């Protein structure tokens, strides 16, 4: 693989201080129903056989959670993210930059191939979550591209 498998951006991730207020602002601004805020339960932090869910962040398997809300506007969607008080890429971004655009996301094929491509280009993965039939990761692209790239692969069945 010598290039990203798609040029279609599907999502922008925005870190916010208060997700409850942010969803109200977005709903009012775009005249849409107020997006649902989700707070995930703690998940398994270690990979296990059978492609079970796990999260890897900065070299460690751990819980990395955040509150999220999806603002469905076309042709992409916005994911609002309020970091929880635990090590995560979202907490790291907020501590360094405050509120703001954290990443652009692309749906891709061949996650492993993209990991290898980005490693060769000097932009290695630093966060990966496996959810069984889908996986996503953030890559060290901000210093070269001005933004973090997220790649997400969903198994075809």
Q: What is the mean pLDDT of residues 2-21?
A: 94
Question: pTM score, two decimals?
Answer: 0.88
Residue 124 forms part of a structural domain: yes
Q: How far apart are CA 81 and CA 91, in angstroms?
A: 10
Q: Has residue 125 got a pLDDT over 60?
A: yes
pLDDT at res. 109: 93
Residue 3 forms part of a structural domain: no
Q: What is the mean pLDDT of residues 24-53?
A: 78
Residue 79 forms part of a structural domain: yes
Domain that residue 32 falls in? 9-154
96's CB contacts (< 8 A; 6+ apart) are none
Q: Has residue 127 got a pLDDT over 60?
A: yes
Residue 47 forms part of a structural domain: yes
- % of the chain exceeding 70 in pLDDT: 92
101's CB contacts (< 8 A; 6+ apart) are 12, 13, 14, 147
Q: How far apart are CA 107 and CA 133, in angstroms?
A: 13
Residue 2 forms part of a structural domain: no
Domain of 141, CATH number, reads 3.10.180.10
Q: How many domains does the chain have?
A: 1
């Amino acid at each position: 693989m010598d290039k990203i498998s798609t040029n279609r951006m599907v999502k922008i991730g925005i870190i916010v201080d208060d997700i409850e207020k942010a969803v109200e602002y977005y709903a009012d601004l775009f005249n849409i129903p107020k997006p649902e805020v989700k707070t995930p339960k703690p998940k398994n932090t270690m990979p296990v056989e059978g492609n079970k869910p796990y999260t890897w962040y900065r070299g460690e398997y751990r819980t990395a959670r955040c509150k999220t809300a999806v603002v469905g506007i076309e042709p992409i969607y916005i994911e609002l993210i309020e970091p929880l008080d635990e090590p995560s890429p979202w907490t790291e971004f907020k501590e360094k930059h405050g509120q703001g655009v954290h990443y652009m996301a692309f749906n891709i094929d061949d996650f492993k191939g993209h990991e290898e491509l980005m490693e060769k280009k000097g932009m290695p993965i630093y966060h990966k979550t496996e959810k069984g039939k889908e996986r996503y990761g953030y890559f060290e692209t901000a210093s070269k591209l001005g933004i973090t790239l997220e790649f997400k692969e969903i198994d075809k069945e």
